[in-house]
Amino acid sequence: MFSANVFRPLPPPLHKLTRSPYDPQDINEKEEEEEAKEPAWPHLELVYEIFLRFLSLMNIKTVFLKKHISHAFVLNLLAVFDTEDRRERDCAKLILHKIYTKLIKLRVFIRKQMIFTFQR
C-alpha cells in the first residue's frame, strides 16, 4: 500500500534558484512565495500515518521488515525528498529514521545513499 501511493513520479520543481542561495534579495523573495503544497496530501498523509504507526509497533519482527524493505525501497523513499511539499519531506524523514533504527543491516546503505542523494 505504501509503495503504490507514495512512490510516484514527482512534478518538476516550481521554484528554481537563479541566484546564489545566500543572496539577501533571494531570501526576501522566498518569504513572499507561497510554499508548494501537494494536492493529494490528505490521502498521502493517511498513508504515511498508517505506515509510520506500523513501523512503530514494538512487537513487529525485523525478519518481516527485511523481507519487505529492500535497497530499492530505501532508494524510492529517498527520491521523495525531492518533493517541494515540506510536510511530505518531514514524513519521509520520520519513516527513514524508523527504518534506520529498526533495520541495522541497512544502516550503511542508507548513510551512503543519503550522502550520494543530498550532495548532488
Summarised one tens digit per residue, pLDDT across range 36-73 is 788 889 999 999 999 999 999 988 888 889 999 999 99
CA quadruple 36, 40, 3, 116: dihedral, nearest 10: 0
pTM score, whole prediction: 0.78
78-101: average pLDDT? 94
- The answer to whether residue 23 is domain-embedded is no
- The answer to whether residue 19 is domain-embedded is no
pLDDT at 2: 81
CA distances from 23 to 13, 18, 38, 78, 84 (A): 20, 10, 27, 28, 21
- For residue 72, give its domain range: 2-11+38-118
Locate cell 550532495: which residue? Answer: 119
Question: For residue 102, what pLDDT band results from cuts at 50, 70 and 90?
Answer: very high
- The answer to whether residue 33 is domain-embedded is no
Split into its structural domains, the chain has a count of: 1
pLDDT at 71: 96
